[in-house]
Amino acid sequence: MKKVLVTGSQGFIGSYVCNELLQNNYQVVGVDNFSKYGVVSRAHDKHENFTLLQNDCSSPEFIKILENEQFDYIIAGAAMIGGISYFHKYAYDLLAMNERIISNTFDLALEQYKKGFLKKILVLSSSMVFENVSTWPTKESDLPKCPPPLSTYGFQKLSCEYFARGAFEQYGLPYTIVRPFNCVGVGEDEAVGDHEITSGNIKLTLSHVVPDLILKCLKGQNPLHILGSGNQIRHYTNGHDISRGIRVCLEHENAINNDFNISSSVSTSVLELAQMIWKKFNPDLPFKYVSDPPFEYDVEKRIPDIQKARDILNFEAKITLNESLDEIISWMKEKYKILN
């Protein structure tokens, strides 16, 4: 049984990753400080092959408490992360804190690698590294040609990729870089550090578009408020597909020292998404919406080329956006005890 360290194990994507690994016969050690959602219970917590260490990956103690462990793989997922408003509110902290986290994680990985334990580190990057790209669909090979991100979050995620390449260049540490695109699914709670944003007549603290629109419909908002024109294009990818893609990247021999876009192949505008969600709640009402001013870093297009993952890894996302929405709506109705 191979042993994997997952940093940020109790987060949104982290919890999907832990479940995927545990269901495929891995032993998983998770590290999380519950800074995003507060103390939460996750489906994987009671699995016999899961161990949780409550610790801050940015602190010096992080490496010390793990110095006697032996890991086959490390998945570097811990980070301060949020929606568009988060990028503004924590512009400095996102850069400073996430640099400390990734630096500590790579120091641990190098220590494990030098001892002969670690086979590879897998870095969870972000589609935000393509913030200023001008070619769509965007290939992995387009990254060196586009200007660096303007947001501190996107810039730091690009830095994570340089950590991987630098550690390989200097020390030979094998790596894989994974760029998830717009993960959607259950378990995305209100972040402790988010602030309330007024959107129409509703104060919301959910910073990602899918749960934001669902909660507005749950509360009966009409007309529906969206950020910007609604022409922003995204590829909404279910957490189950993203975690499966991460596991494939962990295991596949051709993923070593390589980078992959992990995403659905389907483009959806925010306006199309809003209409889909609206119809699930209000099938007999005409769709009406209002455009609120967008945030500065609300990228107009995030359209990945997924051919590389298809060709090299034989990976494709399988879960449709419609299926994802049904799953999330059911979960959010239960969470908010709203049954309409």
- Looking at the structure, tell me whether residues 80 and 214 fall in a common domain: no
- Looking at the structure, tell me whether residues 84 and 101 fall in a common domain: yes
- Looking at the structure, tell me whether residues 177 and 273 fall in a common domain: no
- Looking at the structure, tell me whether residues 278 and 145 fall in a common domain: no
Per-residue pLDDT at 238: 98
- Looking at the structure, tell me whether residues 104 and 241 fall in a common domain: yes
Q: What is the value of pTM for the model shown?
A: 0.94
Per-residue pLDDT at 296: 73
- Looking at the structure, tell me whether residues 258 and 270 fall in a common domain: no
Please state, in angstroms and rounded to a whole number, the distance separating the CA atoms of residues 144 and 153: 18
- Evaluate whether 241 touches 318 at the Cβ level (below 8 Å): yes
Per-residue pLDDT at 208: 85
- Looking at the structure, tell me whether residues 297 and 174 fall in a common domain: no
Q: Which residues in the chain come in under a pLDDT of 70?
A: 36, 82-87, 189-207, 297, 338-340
Write out pLDDT tens, residues 327-340: 999 999 998 876 55
- Looking at the structure, tell me whether residues 221 and 253 fall in a common domain: no
- Looking at the structure, tell me whether residues 160 and 224 fall in a common domain: no
Quick check: is 311 in a domain?
Answer: no
Q: What is the domain extent for residue 201? A: 197-233+266-303+320-336
Per-residue pLDDT at 205: 47
Please state, in angstroms and rounded to a whole number, the distance separating the CA atoms of residues 214 and 209: 9
Quick check: is 314 in a domain?
Answer: no
CATH number at residue 295: 3.90.25.10
Per-residue pLDDT at 206: 54
- Looking at the structure, tell me whether residues 17 and 159 fall in a common domain: yes
- What count of Cα atoms within 13 Å lies in the side-chain half-sphere of residue 87? 20
CATH number at residue 13: 3.40.50.720
Tell me the CA end-to-end span of the chain in Å, nearest whole number. Answer: 46
Quick check: is 190 in a domain?
Answer: no
Please state, in angstroms and rounded to a whole number, the distance separating the CA atoms of residues 11 and 178: 17
- Looking at the structure, tell me whether residues 51 and 177 fall in a common domain: yes
- Looking at the structure, tell me whether residues 155 and 249 fall in a common domain: yes
Tokens of 132: 């200023």
Quick check: is 48 in a domain?
Answer: yes
DSSP letter at 210? H
The number of folded domains in the chain is: 2
Quick check: is 315 in a domain?
Answer: no
